[in-house]
Structure 1
Amino acid sequence: MQEIERKFLVNSNAYKSEASKSKRISQGFLNSHKERTVRVRIIDDKGFITIKGKSSESGLSRFEWETEIPYEEAKTLLKLCEPGRIEKTRYYINVGQHIFEVDEFYGDNQGLIVAEIELANEDEAFEKPNWLGQEVTGEVKYYNSMLSTHPYQSW
């Protein structure tokens, strides 16, 4: 249950025409402590709860556990979350042997677009599409838990 992920800013909207699908996401945090986060998420009409551990020193990997929960329970749990809900559309783009997940944020994070790619190991090679910008892996201010309390528009 170790997640290895790299995160990048996106430098154009070209990813939208390459997306195979997109989903609307609403999420909140029951706990956003730096040692662990507990997230409640609704993706379209499905609910999820996720626990993430502290990131490695490089910011590339951390423990992640997620399970689906009933939609109505997720809606109820969102009401118990800390202030600062995250609203975004996630686009899924196949690039070579990988899938990039590109998040376009709304609300207080409007204007921020971030791409993530999950890898099998920290040194795994992958193709970089033209719309991929600066790498921000390990930069805490780009974590969703941080964006919920320190939104992009306040930087």
Structure 2
Amino acid sequence: MIEIERKFLVNSDAFKVEANTHYIIKQGFLNSDKARTVRVRLKNDKGYLTVKGKSSANGLSRFEWETEISKLEAEALLKLCEPGIIDKTRFEVTKHGHIFEIDVFYGENEGLIMAEVELNSESETFLKPEWLGKEVTGDIRYYNSMLSKRPFKEWE
């Protein structure tokens, strides 16, 4: 239940030709406290409820629990979420033995493209694809819960 991941900005759309799959995501937060977040996600026709704990000091790991819920339940819960619904398309690319999840944001976060790679340990190394840009692991501005409150388009 501990998630270990690194986050990066993406410097080109070259990842799209390498993508195994992609899907539409709409998500909101029932609670976006720093110590814990409760997220509702609609991914194509499936719903998910996720609880995440506070990140480690370096931002690499944190508790995560997720369960699938029905599309109807997710749609109902999205109506109860805090303001700032996140809309994005997620692309998955398997490269060099790792799965990279690349999010292309829309709406108030349009222009932001971010990739995540999940790891088995904080010290695990991996080869970076050429389209992977600056690392933003641990920068809370890039957490989806923060992007719902202070969207990318509002940054200076």
Answer yes or no: same fold by TM over 0.5. Answer: yes
Q: Secondary structure at the match of 2:47?
A: strand
Per the alignment, in what secondary structure is the counterpart of residue 94 of structure 1? strand
Structure 2 counterpart of 1:6, one-letter code: R
Alpha-carbon shift at residue 55 of structure 1 (Å)? 0.1
> Corresponding residue for 2:82?
82
C-alpha separation in 1, matches of 2:131 and 2:70? 36
1:1-155 to 2 correspondence within 5 Å? 1-155=1-155
**CA deviation after TM superposition for structure 1 residue 24, in Å:** 0.3
Count residues in correspondence.
155
| C-alpha distance in structure 2 between counterparts of 1:45 and 1:70, whole Å | 8
**Identity within the alignment, %:** 65
CA RMSD of aligned residues (A): 0.3
Output the TM-score relative to the length of structure 1.
1.00
Pairwise CA distance, 1:30: 0.1
1:127 shift after superposition:
1.1
> What is the alpha-carbon distance in structure 2 between the residues aligned to residue 153 and residue 74 of structure 1?
26
Cα offset for 1:23? Answer: 0.7
Deviation at 1:5, TM superposition (A): 0.3
Shift of residue 35 of structure 1? Answer: 0.3
- The answer for unaligned runs of 5 or more in structure 2 is none
